[in-house]
Structure 1
Amino acid sequence: MAKKAARKSSSKKSKASKAKKQTLSRIRRWVTRVLLGVVVFFVGLVMLYSVVNPPITHTIWSEWRRLGKVERDWVPIEEISPVMARAVVAAEDANFCRHWGFDVEAIRDALEDGGSRGASTITQQVVKNVFLWQGRSWVRKAMETSITPVVEIFWSKQRILEVYLNVAETGQGVFGVEAAARRNFNVSAAKLSPVQAARIAAILPSPRKRSVTDPSVFTRRRASSILEGAATIRADGRADCFED
């Protein structure tokens, strides 16, 4: 009797163990399929947006909900003054033409400074603005790090910069350099002067706190530095990847 009871107990444990393994196997398969689906979705979206302009971003949608309206006019890069493109690169990512999505030197410098300054490239900012959301979290950063090389593979540098110039927040409820140019200077992005372009680029890190038309001393100094930087990257070839 004791042996028969032991065999039954062993059989039950074996069935329970087998059922547990089958459940874990099904969960692993489900998780794998979900992750694969997410990867395929984002790769497909990256490929689509290489030729189709993103209709909206999470930040634009959030601001529209908060304010009730936003200002945004999409224009191709050919209709944006070259000085505006150079100013943005000089301000946000001077080595834009020389990296594959991550500026290792800037990351190293940021770490040495204790993380007090950012090291995100224009490509990373495009990924965050177009495909993800604002805010700080390891999940978002991990996704940004994964998608950035994919964007660099499928998009040209000119396309990356074009999208950035059209989706970047450039004021309270204002997105893109065309809307910023018209609101602040009553001209199109194609007609911006070097000083005007530098002013717009100078507010990009904090567009809701800094003013283009009534700049603080800090913003004026930053704009002056950007003006010099834009001339420098044009002279040393660091603007070649997005200029004809």
Structure 2
Amino acid sequence: GVRSHGPFVPLNLSTIPKELLASELFGYDEGAFSGAARGGKRGKIELAHGGTLFLDELTDLPLDMQSALLRILEDKKVVPLGSDRPRTVDFRVIAATNLKPASAVADGKLRLDLYYRLNVLSIELPPLRERLEDLLLLVRHILDREGFAGLMVSEVVTDAFRQYSWPGNIRELRNVLVRAAAVSVTATIVAEDLPAEVRSGFSAHRNGSGSPPDRIRVEQALAEALGNISRAAQILGIHRTTLHHKIREYGLARERFMSSRVPS
């Protein structure tokens, strides 16, 4: 519609001190309070005129301001702090919350009338652990966006990501990837580049009855890589030095893998 070409004004309500929320949303006139800017200031609602106001963490908005927002949506007028002159505004609201709306209403964090007013179209974003089909696409997108377009991710890391519960969702995935990219010493992110909490759940799963013993995995990787240590380490998702330790630990001679494969 027409508003898609208008301004998009975001406001994260969880990051604004409660005493500043009213002035951020509604704006104020000059002299409205001590320290008010000369000439006053337009609030986010007025800035969104003709476009969209995005309110993140809606349930952090105090109930009295929720009531004021509802009146503004109904009347299409906003009164800045310290003013007695309503200003006409025409905007749409997109709101987000990390709480289920029904629970927020029951807990007294969201006015039921405001919820009904806003709930024209509802989109529920499932947690990352429930949409693992998006995981690899997100990994590639995040690495490319953060300047690591040439960096690959080993299969072991991919498995670790699928086993992890991702309580922090996409924000946590981004942080894990940026950290791993920063410490990686090869062109591929391997398991040792991951933080301990991501590795731990996978390690328990990997050592369970459903996974082959570590020695067999090392032998299979060496066979697939025809004895090439760097390639075998990439397949296993570990560093070369770690693979050397495993070869010595299991008494393997990599030369025997250089021309033949072991059965899978």
TMscore range, shorter length: under 0.3
Over alpha carbons, which structure has the higher Rg?
2
Structure number with the higher helix fraction is 1
Which protein has greater RCO, CA pairs closer than 8 Å, 6+ apart? 1
TM-score for both structures, normalised by structure 1 = 0.25
Structure number with the higher strand fraction is 2
TM-score for both structures, normalised by structure 2 = 0.24
